[in-house]
């Protein structure tokens, strides 16, 4: 019995070091337990989707042979890598891979995205010339590794990465692909292994006859073919969305006048620049510009985002004081240049950039804005000209998860075990129980606060997760108040207090464990987090059952 209790204490100390999924990065060596049909020693490596930990390795093996290895966390869903002419999903060809049931089955197929509906995503078709017997996918250390080779002089540089819904995989006979759960688009300069190159697709001139895009950068001079109403010689410049080649130039013309020029690739879609009070889309005001049909028509409008539904994005409204006759958009050298001036002492620093679906533009009379195809949020320091990606919320998301797992999901359980099975170690058990529960309460409260901050940034629907979190927090507050009002042992009401305190604690633990696993699923952290917490939970449960058996035998 003493040995088991000693093991419990050791588990308590080790619980602070939760096992996490095996990481992969461009600084780690690629070591797969299966043979690959090409040399992997000289592969170039890029982090192509930081938010989902997607790592791409590639190399040009021969003059017309390109080899790829996409490494992603195993979230029990399919993964996809698409090659696009314009950066949009429609018209792209994608390699899709999956491993179902913890490695029991899997596969890889090429899909052609002829449209946005599921029946327009066609398996075993596409513009990629995949080399025979070069494709395979494997699951290793909680990560998927998808391998394939293409026969092409230059792969398209506009890439799309996506993940599918949990537990839904293509299956015979149709191998239909369900809608992606999340996606991101980016551009790659294969020769330099850089994300966000503004060069055109390598094969674009062969596919649609368009000329390649002329690059724009902060080291090149702004040379527009149309005059602007403000001086452009002293504009500050910074890249604000490397993955899409967005360049922002701005300056403070007078104490209350700010001038902006947003430069973006012309992907035959609208472009948008939003000013947000909190980093989220809801409540922000955006300047949206477009030029359609190869320059035949275009326009600019302010939109106010009162909500996420299309009918809640209202044209000609917003909190931006746009100077009259200062707005202008032009297409030049395959890029859009959107210029405008704002009357304000200091523009909002939380900015959102987005672009719309290919070929779909606002039009009279409603000028309704279709949902963006991709977006990014940044924080801009106007004084220094520096920016930071808004996707730092990933750190906040994981901090939220770790704090709640440690607080509600481990320490509270340990404190309950001590209170029930360690009473012969009086008064040690009481002080240990109170200290551990208080530490768990503090970590849990910080985790709840970080969750509210995260929800305020992301504006995602996590109603059930948030409701359970609030209930757990309220129950924990009741437990703390009950401890402060704990009657003496000889008191007649002590047995009722015990009944309340013990059962309230059990309910709290059950809800906390359920909400932790649900939160891991919502956060798409993969099976590694589930397994890691599940192992700690199994150890605690095994100890509790063992102690309970010993206690029953004594009685």
| Residue that terminates a domain, selected from 192, 224, 256 | 192
Two structure tokens written together for 297:
């028509």
Q: Is 2 part of a structural domain of the chain?
A: no
Domain that holds residue 279: 234-387
pLDDT tops 70 at residue 23: no
Do residues 332 and 450 both lie within one domain?
no
Q: 239 and 163 in one domain?
A: no
Query: Does residue 147 have a pLDDT over 90?
Result: yes
How many domains in the chain?
A: 3
**Is there a contact between 394 and 308 (Cβ–Cβ < 8 Å)?**
no
Shared domain check, 398 and 367: no
For residues 457 and 378, membership in a common domain is answered with: no
User: Does 459 have pLDDT greater than 60?
Assistant: no
User: Does an H or E element contain 475, and which?
Assistant: helix 463-484
Report, as an integer, the average pLDDT of 513-527. 82
In whole angstroms, give the CA distance from residue 64 to residue 213.
23
17 domain-assigned: no
pLDDT in tens, 419-452: 888 888 888 888 888 899 999 999 999 999 988 8
Residue 145 resides in a domain: yes
The reply to whether 470 and 531 lie within a common domain is yes
Same-domain check for residues 110 and 41: yes
Domain of residue 117, CATH code: 2.60.40.1210
| Average pLDDT for 26-38 | 82
Whether 375 maps to a domain, the answer reads yes
The verdict on 326 and 401 lying in the same domain is: no
Q: Could you tell me if residue 412 is inside a domain?
A: yes
- Cβ contact 259:341 at 8 Å: yes
In a domain, 536, yes or no: yes
Give dist(CA 476, CA 471) in Å, integer.
9
* 489 lies in some domain: yes
Among 192, 217, 246, the domain-final residue is: 192
Greater model confidence, 144 or 385: 144
Measure Cα distances from 442 to 11, 366, 448, 449, 476 in Å.
Answer: 20, 51, 10, 11, 10
181 and 147 in a common domain: yes
Residue appearing with tokens 């995260």: 454
**Residue 16 domain flag:** no
Q: What per-residue confidence (pLDDT) applies to 21? A: 45
Structure tokens at 471: 């209930």
Output phi, psi for 455, to 5 deg.
Answer: -65, -35
Contact assessment for residue 55 and residue 24, using Cβ atoms and an 8 Å cutoff = yes
Q: What is the mean pLDDT of residues 479-492?
A: 83
Residues 402, 517: one domain?
Answer: yes
Which pLDDT value is given to residue 391? 46
Same domain, 307 and 419: no
Helix/strand/coil for 154:
coil
- Among the candidates 387, 408, 436, a domain finishes at 387
188 with 279, same domain?
A: no
Phi and psi at residue 338, in whole multiples of 5°? -110, 115
Residue 210 has pLDDT above 50, yes or no: no
- My answer on whether 404 and 488 are in the same domain is yes
Give the lowest-confidence range in 10-24, 118-132, 335-349, 369-383. Answer: 10-24
């Amino acid at each position: 019995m003493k040995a088991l209790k000693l093991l419990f204490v050791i588990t308590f100390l080790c619980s602070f070091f939760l096992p996490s999924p095996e990481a992969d990065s461009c600084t780690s060596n690629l070591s797969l337990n299966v043979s690959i049909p090409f040399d992997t020693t000289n592969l170039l490596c890029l982090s192509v989707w930081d938010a989902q930990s997607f790592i791409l390795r590639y190399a040009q093996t021969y003059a017309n042979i390109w080899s790829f290895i996409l490494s992603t966390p195993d979230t029990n869903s399919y993964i996809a890598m698409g090659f696009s002419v314009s950066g949009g999903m429609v018209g792209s060809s994608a390699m899709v891979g999956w491993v179902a049931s913890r490695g029991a089955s899997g596969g890889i197929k090429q899909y052609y995205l002829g449209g946005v509906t599921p029946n327009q995503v066609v398996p075993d078709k596409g513009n990629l010339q995949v080399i025979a017997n070069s494709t395979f996918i494997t699951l290793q250390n909680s990560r998927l590794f998808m391998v394939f080779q293409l026969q092409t002089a230059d792969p398209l540089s506009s890439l799309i990465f996506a993940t599918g819904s949990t537990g839904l995989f293509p299956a015979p006979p149709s191998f239909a692909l369900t809608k992606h759960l999340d996606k991101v688009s980016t551009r790659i300069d294969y020769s330099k292994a850089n994300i966000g190159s503004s060069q055109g697709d390598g094969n674009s001139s062969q596919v649609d006859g368009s000329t390649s895009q002329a690059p724009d950068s902060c080291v090149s001079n702004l040379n527009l073919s149309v005059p602007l109403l403000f001086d452009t010689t002293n504009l500050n410049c910074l890249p604000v969305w490397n993955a899409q080649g967005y360049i922002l130039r701005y300056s403070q013309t007078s104490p209350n006048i700010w001038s902006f020029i947003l430069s973006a690739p012309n992907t035959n879609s609208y472009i948008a620049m939003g000013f947000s009070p909190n980093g989220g889309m809801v409540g922000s005001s955006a300047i949206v510009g477009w030029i359609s049909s190869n320059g035949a028509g275009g326009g600019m409008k302010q939109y106010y985002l009162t909500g996420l539904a299309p009918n809640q994005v209202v044209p000609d409204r917003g909190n931006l004081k746009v100077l009259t006759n200062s707005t202008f958009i032009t297409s030049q050298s395959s890029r859009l240049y959107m210029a405008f001036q704002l009357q304000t002492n200091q523009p909002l620093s939380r900015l959102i950039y987005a672009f719309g679906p290919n070929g779909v533009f606002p039009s009279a009379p409603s000028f309704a804005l279709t949902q963006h195809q991709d977006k990014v949020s940044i924080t801009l320091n106007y004084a220094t000209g520096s920016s930071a990606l808004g996707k730092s919320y990933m750190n906040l998301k994981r901090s939220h998860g770790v704090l709640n797992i440690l607080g509600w999901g481990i320490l509270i359980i340990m404190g309950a075990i001590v209170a029930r099975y360690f009473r012969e170690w009086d008064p040690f058990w009481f002080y240990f129980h109170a200290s551990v529960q208080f530490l768990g309460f503090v970590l849990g409260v910080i985790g709840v606060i970080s969750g509210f901050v995260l929800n305020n940034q992301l504006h995602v629907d996590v109603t059930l997760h948030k409701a359970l979190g609030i209930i757990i927090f309220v129950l924990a507050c009741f437990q703390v108040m009950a401890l402060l009002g704990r009657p003496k042992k000889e008191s007649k009401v002590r047995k009722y207090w015990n009944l309340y305190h013990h059962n309230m604690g059990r309910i709290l633990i059950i809800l906390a464990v359920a909400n932790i696993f649900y939160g891991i699923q919502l956060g798409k952290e993969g099976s590694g987090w589930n397994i890691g917490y599940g192992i700690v939970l199994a150890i605690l449960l095994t100890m509790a059952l063992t102690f309970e058996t010993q206690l029953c035998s004594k009685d």
